[in-house]
Chains A and B, each alone.
Chain A
Amino acid sequence: MPRQIGGGMPTAPDQTAPNLKGLVGQILDEARRLGATAAEVAVGNTTGLSVGVRKGELETVEFNNDRGFGITVYVGDRKGSASTSDASPGAVQNTVRQALNIAKYTEADSCNGLADADLMATTLPDLDIDHPWAVDVEDASQLALTAEAAALGVDKRIVNSEGARLVTQRGCHVYGNSHGFVEAAWGTRHSLSCSVIAADKDGMQSDYAFTIGRADGDLDDAAAVGREAGRRTIARLGHRPVQTGRYPVLFDAPTASGLFGHLLSAISGTSLYRKESYLLDSLGRQATAPGITLAEDPHRRKGLASAAHDGDGVATRAKSFVDDGVVTSYILGSYSARRLGLATTGNAGGVFNLDVVTDAQPAAALMQTMGNGLLVTSLMGQGVNLVTGDYSRAAAGMWISNGEPAYPVDRITIASNLDAMFKGIVACGDDIDKRHNIRTGSVLVRDMTIAA
């Protein structure tokens, strides 16, 4: 196999960023010329390589090169949007015309429009998120093969593989608006994942592990990723039934990250103004047990969600949304802020590096505190109603007896209400999972209904 394959890896930033910035300027000019009173444009170009192996052999090599732009135009208080993967001059003009045409038929909404000009990000912190990785197909497949071999070697009961995959992506994202704001951000993201299958008399079980980072040097060792995939898969074998009833539930760090995601959705502006939240009018009110703070750190170096500005061009800044269990700020972009009569928090597009800060205990101590109950390591299905907070999801994990792991459990559901769950948090662990935008350790909830 050739060491270098055409069509794959990105070009140097200094060649492409000015081009994309220039393109944004052209599109904004075109919008003004055709009658927009204001406009905003996002242009992206992401290139990368994804190499999959399975059972010791190379399986797929995929090169991606995604381009495209989207524009929102405002004509007074009316707006229209259009997007395309085609950045040729003809397509630019056509797309702008389409957006303006849409704006002819939408209705005036006084909350529409760009964020205020004085909120635009002016100083751009060094986020240290651009670390191109010149890995070729050969080396990428070697890493994936190493991970898979390590996973298969964990235990004789691991009998099959869904493979391992190495993905490297580099993207340039440019946002500009008719305030004259245009910024380009380069970022990389590399990951390695592995999934294997174990079998016993009860059938097959699969599980996976992954590592992700902005720089390849920050990825976990390939063999360690494989061993973790193998360990997690073996841990699912031999599951035993449990009795339906109410028990304490300990969410491990990855599932706890998703759980806090529901809380953040419930205090996000879009859910609030649509009344699709169980936390309406919750500013100043308790949303979790005391001692829990949800803090955002958008400028963290190498952070997976680091950004200098949000989707409106507004400068991001460190702040908290929940302080000692009390909601201190909603999560707002400029539109939802205006709808709610508040100021934007620089969160158009969501949160940027969210930490769950608590008086953390060692994860093993949480099991001791719990005594008898369920450790959740995997969740499936929808079953979360943000309007009512009703929560009912499929779960799998480990039964904990007298503070010690006893046996795996599977095909059960856990149910409660999000409000009761968050207010019923007993303790959080120090086993912070750094692979997610929402970083938390494991979380012990006083009780939930387990159906089996």
Chain B
Amino acid sequence: MTDAIENATRALWDAGDIVERDVTGLLGRLSSPGIDTGELFFQLGESESWSLEDGIVKSGSYSVDRGVGVRAISGEKTGFAYAEEVVLPALANATDAARAIARSGQSGAVKALSRNRPTARYADASPIASADDESKVALLREIDAFARSLDPAVKEVTVRVMLNHDINLVVATDGTMSADVRPLARFDVMVIAERKGRRERGFGGGGGRFDTAWLFATDAAKRYAREAVRTALVNLDGIEAPAGTMPVVLGPGWPGVLLHEAVGHGLEGDCNRKGTSAFAGRIGEKVASELCTVVDDATLPDRRGSLTVDDEGTPGQRTTLIEDGVLVGYMQDKHNARLMGATSTGNARRQSYAHLPIPRMTNTFMLPGTSDPDEIIASVDKGIYAVSFGGGQVEPTSAKFTFSATEAYLIEGGKIGPPIRGATLIGSGPQVMAGISMVGNDLQLDTGVGICGKEGQVVPVGVGQPSLKIDEITVGGTNA
């Protein structure tokens, strides 16, 4: 592993003949009167994807995006502009546009840049360069044939590999100088199975911040294919889902999207500073059952949501959000932390240089409890066991959230019954969290497919949880 800052300056500055003196000059220009802080975010992102459908590798695409985002902050005001040419005149132009947010005030100071080199949470090798195109394409073909061989009901198979390599560099008037080189790889298998005129979809996939060795040196791709076929076949037997309020047992891993929606978004710094979150001003209060301890952890090695440093140059951290049911912390970026008298927790994230950084989750999960998963299911007389979800959404203001099951079963007399057709679950964050009455000893993280959207910006995230039981939540089936 080589030095991230040196790598980044070479990749981002050299082509435009930019040197450190130019950058400190821009920071000086940015700290005009009235500006509290300002930053330049340089980025070079490269991505490649290949996709197979109808048994042939039909399409592939490659893209490269380069640019610089310039932000100036004055009190609660933010000015932002960006340039797609990393050359001095364009940077100066963007700097002038961003700093125009301030009307007047004291001239801001620029601290000397101090190189920040936190512990790396992932290797910096490019997943795109880590395998030749021939082997990537051959793998897609192999997995297509494998998925079709698993069951004659499999009619359509789509296989996709998506590889990203992102180099960024942050320099700020507070003296921050930090760089990160982020790999991101993902492999998806989607199938459609058909039996007796009924068709259902199944999905399996995963990935993380690493190169393609995970695909070529392990059986991960076959595992995803098996999972896709398995879920499609399960759903072919699905019966009508019940409607109404009932106990729900969530399986481990990906159902942790519950935490992402029920509490995660509501604990991001921006909506708490503005008082627009249902959790605003509630630090120290009980917001969940005492069985719940929820953390956001950017430091997990190689995970999809992990960050060596965030997009403001703060090292990624593990932040406890809820401890034994009590709200203990928010996820902060520098801007909201400063206005709230707090410190950044390393949760500033941006989709790209062309977007403003905002507080976001990284890998959010619940710590394990003591219950045996079988014992949790056995405790429910009549309810639902949900093991996979299509996604969720929340309104942080009312704490209302929803997520939609893509694999779920009835629980009858303490035993797992027949699969049910997809149903949406809906509840209020604090109410549902208070109703968590059993937490399993089987913590799992998801396989690495999460994406999170907020204010039009999409970033990769991780979720996880042990099996858990919610005493009462609304299940939106058709069978009233």
A-side residues, CB < 8 A to B, are: 1-2, 5-8, 54, 57-68, 70, 79-86, 88, 91, 94-95, 98-99, 101-109, 137, 160, 162, 197, 203-206, 244-246, 274-276, 380-383, 385, 387-388, 390, 392-394, 396, 410-417, 449-452
Bound state CA distance, A394 and B476, in angstroms?
8
- Judging by beta carbons under 8 Å apart, are B400 and A275 in contact? no
A7 and B243 contacting across the interface, CB-CB below 8 Å: no
Give the chain B neighbours of A381 by CB distance below 8 A.
391-393, 402-404, 424, 426
Docked-complex contact B133 and A104, CB < 8 angstroms = yes
Can you sample 10 A-B contacts with CB below 8 Å? Answer: A80-B62, A83-B62, A85-B67, A86-B85, A95-B62, A137-B100, A162-B274, A381-B393, A382-B393, A394-B400
Tell me how far the C-beta of A152 lies from the nearest C-beta in chain B, rounded to whole angstroms: 14
Known: A64-B82, A392-B422. A204 touches B93 (CB 8 A): no
- How far, in angstroms, from A452 to B199 measured CA to CA in the complex? 29
CA distance A60 to B79 in the complex (A): 6
For A62, the chain B residues whose CB sits under 8 A away are 79-81, 356
B274 and A413: CB pair below 8 A?
A: no
Q: Is the CB of A6 within 8 A of B398?
A: no
* Given A8-B97, A205-B398, A383-B390, CB of A66 within 8 Å of CB of B354: yes
Q: Which of B135-162 contact A (CB under 8 A)?
A: 136-137, 155-156, 158
Given A84-B64, A392-B241, the answer on whether A105 and B137 have CB atoms closer than 8 Å is yes
A88 to B90, CA, bound (A): 14
Given contacts A107-B56, A109-B56, contact A246 B480 (CB under 8 A): yes
Tell me, rounded to whole Å, the shortest Cβ–Cβ distance linking A96 to chain B. Answer: 11
Task: Give Cα A236 to B94, complex, Å.
Answer: 42
> Which of B96, B276, B402, B477 meets A394, CB within 8 Å?
B402
Q: How far is the CA of A2 from the CA of B101 in the complex (A)?
A: 10
Which of B136, B201, B474 contacts A385 (CB under 8 A)? B201
Q: B270 to nearest A CB, angstroms?
A: 10
Residue of A nearest to B396 (CB): A206
Interface membership of chain B positions 187-227, coded 1 if the CB is closer than 8 angstroms to chain A and 0 otherwise: 00000101000111100000000000000000000000000
B423 within 8 Å of A (CB atoms): yes
A393 contacts B57, C-beta separation under 8 Å: no
Tell me the bound Cα distance from A322 to B448 in angstroms. 41
Say yes or no: B397 contacts A6, CB within 8 Å. Answer: no
Cβ–Cβ contact A61 & B101, under 8 A:
yes
Interface centre among B67, B158, B398 (most CB of A within 10 A): B398
| Total residues of chain B contacting the partner, CB 8 A | 82
Which residues from chain B contact A94 at a C-beta distance below 8 Å?
64
Query: Known: A204-B398, A388-B200. Is A81-B61 also a contact (CB below 8 A)?
Result: yes
* Inter-chain contact B424/A415, CB cutoff 8 Å: yes
8 A Cβ contacts from B81-125 to A: 81-85, 93-94, 96-98, 100-101, 103
* B residues in contact with A416, CB < 8 Å: 478
Closest B residue by C-beta to A112: B58
- Taking Cβ atoms with an 8 Å cutoff, the residues of B that contact A are 50, 53-54, 56-67, 76-85, 93-94, 96-98, 100-101, 103, 133-134, 136-137, 155-156, 158, 192, 194, 198-201, 241, 243-245, 274-276, 278, 354, 356, 390-393, 395, 397-400, 402-404, 421-424, 426-428, 474-480
Chain A residues positioned under 8 Å from B67 (CB to CB): 85
| Chain B residue contacts of A449, Cβ below 8 A | 243, 476-480
Q: Which residues of the partner chain B approach A64 to less than 8 Å between Cβ atoms?
A: 82, 354
In the bound complex, residues from chain B placing their C-beta under 8 Å from that of A413 are 243, 402, 423-424, 426, 474-476
CA distance A86 to B84 in the complex (A): 7
B65 to chain A: which residues have CB within 8 Å? Answer: 68, 84-86
Bound-state Cα–Cα, A37 to B427, Å: 56
Knowing A106-B60, A383-B390, A451-B475, the reply to whether A67 touches B402 (Cβ < 8 A) is no
- Measured CB to CB, the nearest residue on chain B to A90 is B15
Q: How far is the CA of A452 from the CA of B54 in the complex (A)?
A: 42
- Complex CA distance for A98 and B64, rounded to whole angstroms: 10
- A59 in contact with B76 given A6-B93, A106-B57, A392-B241 (CB within 8 Å): yes
List the A side residues contacting B85 at CB < 8 Å.
86, 88
Checking A7, A95, A203, A385 against B93 with a beta-carbon cut-off of 8 angstroms, the contacting residue is: A7
A275 contacts B155, C-beta separation under 8 Å: yes
Known contacts A101-B133, A387-B201; is-contact A451 B243 (Cβ 8 Å): yes
Complex CA–CA separation, A390 to B424 (angstroms): 11
Give the complex CA separation of A125 and B60 in angstroms. 35
A412 and B156 contact, CB distance less than 8 A: no
Indicate which residue in A5, A68, A392 contacts B423 across the interface (CB closer than 8 Å).
A392
